[in-house]
């Protein structure tokens, strides 16, 4: 079965950096695009970034553009999120999520599996 396990969260000061990892298993990682989605404490879901299966195209929310970098290593079945210049408002649970759901011979560009998340706290 699909498993996504995030790691790397923790407490960091404003302006600091952190790198999250997501270990994927149970599916052909190199064939699927991947997302990071975050959820601030008590708040809703916010899409953060997406990377295509081959890693050649990346997209970012305006709130993280220029500060966060998404990457993947298909040989290690691992997704990464490099977070720089962290702000108080980046405090959230960060979810790794798999794109593309197929049913009845049709595939849809949507998130179908989520990891359990890793908490990032930006605090002085």
Partner 1 sequence: QSLLTQPPAVSGAPGQRVTISCTGSSSNIGAGFDVHWYQQVPGAAPKLLIFANSNRPSGVPDRFSGSKSGTSASLAITGLQAEDEADYYCQSYDSSLSGSRVFGGGTKLTVL
Q: In the complex with partner 1, which residue's Cβ is closer, 5 or 91?
A: 5
DSSP string, 40-96: -TTS-EEEEEEE-TTS--EEE-TTTTTTEEEEEETTTTEEEEEE-S--GGG-EEEEE
Looking at 29, 50, 68, 94, which residue binds partner 1 (CB under 8 A)?
Answer: 50
We find the least distance from the C-beta atom of residue 58 to partner 1, in angstroms, to be 8
Closest to partner 1 by CB, 17 or 65: 65
The residue range among 9-17, 19-27, 75-83, 103-111 that interacts with partner 1, by the rule CB under 8 A, is 103-111
Residue length of the chain: 124
Return the residue of 21, 67, 69, 112 that touches partner 1, per CB under 8 A: 112
Q: Whose Cβ is closer to partner 1: residue 27's or residue 47's? A: 47
CA angle 95, 101, 105 (to 5 degrees): 175
Map residue 30 onto helix, strand or coil.
Answer: helix
Restricting to residues 66-85, which ones interact with partner 1 according to CB under 8 A? none
Strand-by-strand arrangement of the 68-73 sheet: 3-7, 18-25, 78-83, 68-73
Q: Does residue 56 bind partner 1 (CB under 8 A)?
A: no
């Amino acid at each position: 079965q699909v498993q996504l396990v995030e790691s790397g969260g923790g407490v960091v000061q404003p302006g600091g950096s952190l790198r999250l990892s997501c270990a994927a298993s149970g599916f052909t990682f190199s064939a699927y695009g991947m997302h990071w989605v975050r959820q601030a404490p008590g708040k809703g879901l916010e899409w953060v970034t997406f990377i295509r299966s081959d890693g050649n195209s990346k997209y970012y929310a305006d709130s993280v553009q220029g500060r966060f970098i998404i990457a993947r290593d298909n040989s290690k079945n691992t997704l990464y999120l490099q977070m720089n210049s962290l702000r108080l408002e980046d405090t959230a649970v960060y979810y790794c999520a798999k794109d593309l759901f197929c049913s009845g011979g049709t595939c849809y560009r949507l998130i179908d599996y989520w990891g359990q998340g890793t908490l990032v706290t930006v605090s002085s």
